[in-house]
Amino acid sequence: MATAALRESEAREQSEHKRLWTYDELLAEAGETKQRMELWDGELIMSPAPTPNHQTIVLNFAEQLKAFVTAGKLGRVFIGVDVIFTQRRTVQPDVIFISTANLGIVQDRIRGVPDLCMEVISQTWQRDRINKKELYQQFGVKEYWIIDPEPRSVEILAYAEGVYQLRAKAADAEPARSKLLEGFAVSFNQLLV
């Protein structure tokens, strides 16, 4: 019901002009929904449901990360939750890690900067490789993992001195090793099983 009202509201707004949203406005109008919605400078971006391969990679990565984080009592791992950088910049990374020292940002939503974000590249690859990379860099996300199913690769970008630097790039069975979480390593082959 809320999603139908939101779509109707969007159609009216688009006929007049493009509506720019804040996160609180969107939440008040749409409420909880399974539709993936992100805000980019206030513009509402809606994505189709992920593919089965995409979700397999996300779940396998999250399971491995959670096992590592839980064993070391390092923090918490989340899948597909709203991360509110600002009222007009809200995204849903595929997987995030928040360190114990940073757990204050876990509220009704994630209100602040996660320590690690992971995205699986999909058809809208520019959002993950360019836009989200710039966003995460701007806000200082310490590590950004990019999993790309086409070349079967895992890339890790580490934040240092205000910019991302390529920490690791691995393909197939070769593991990519985290700088942030010493001892945590994942290969593409481990993710698509």
List, for residues 29-75, the tens digit of each pLDDT value.
887 777 889 989 999 988 888 999 999 999 999 999 999 999 999 99
**Is 119 found in the same domain as 36?**
no
User: Alpha-carbon distance 95 to 128, whole Å?
Assistant: 13
**Is 160 found in the same domain as 117?**
yes
The CATH number assigned to the domain holding 97 equals 3.90.1570.10
pLDDT of residue 15: 47
* Structural domain containing residue 87: 52-191
28's enclosing H/E stretch is helix 23-30
pLDDT digits (tens, 9 = 90+) for 125-139: 788 889 999 999 999
**Is 112 found in the same domain as 36?**
no
pLDDT higher than 50, residue 104: yes
**Is 147 found in the same domain as 167?**
yes
CA atoms within 13 Å, Cβ hemisphere of 59? 9
**Is 85 found in the same domain as 12?**
no
Q: Which of 166, 168, 129, 171 is nearest to 152 (CA)?
A: 171
pLDDT of residue 155: 97
Q: Which of 156, 144, 193, 151 is nearest to 172 (CA)?
A: 151
